[in-house]
Amino acid sequence: MQTIVDTSVWSLALRRKAPPELLPQVLELQRLIIADEVVMLGLIRQEILSGIRNLDQFARLKSYLQGFLDLELDTADYKTAAEFFNQCRRNGVQGSNTDFLICAVAHRRRYKILTEDQDFKNFQAYIPIELA
């Protein structure tokens, strides 16, 4: 099943400080890559690449991520994201516009979301998303 991989999981996988290959989320990311089931959104690519100070590291990562094409979004995705934002907010659950756009894209296309961000579990109580 196609899966949107959130920035939090990419960050775990791309860190050099801890052995990421031992983490279940990273193992799942590896499985998704091999199965060609990773869905990339431009806003996730931007988050992954933002804040990298070393130009060589930035270039390597940018080159690596070129293998994942950005899913094209349309107006319905943004409308659904706003609806999800409002639904959660009415119920006292806060989140970022980016997170709700991820939820909207996943919902509309029946994709799963692979994330380490616990906010998505909170969203799940009020909006129809499936976490991997």
Kindly list the domain boundaries of the chain, sorted by start residue. 1-132
What is the average pLDDT value for the chain, to the nearest integer? 94
Section 10-24 average pLDDT: 76
pLDDT of residue 17: 64
- Over the stretch 85-100, which tens digit does the pLDDT of each residue have? 999 999 999 999 999 9
Q: What is the mean pLDDT of residues 72-84?
A: 98
Lowest mean pLDDT among 14-18, 87-91, 124-128: 14-18
Print the SS3 string covering the chain.
CCEEECHHHHHHHHCCCCCHHHCHHHHHHHHHHHCCCEEECHHHHHHHHCCCCCHHHHHHHHHHHCCCCECCCCHHHHHHHHHHHHHHHHCCCCCCHHHHHHHHHHHHHCCEEECCCCHHHHHHCCCCCEEC
Per-residue pLDDT of 57-68, as tens digits, reads: 899 999 999 999
What is 1-132's CATH topology?
Answer: Rossmann fold (3.40.50)
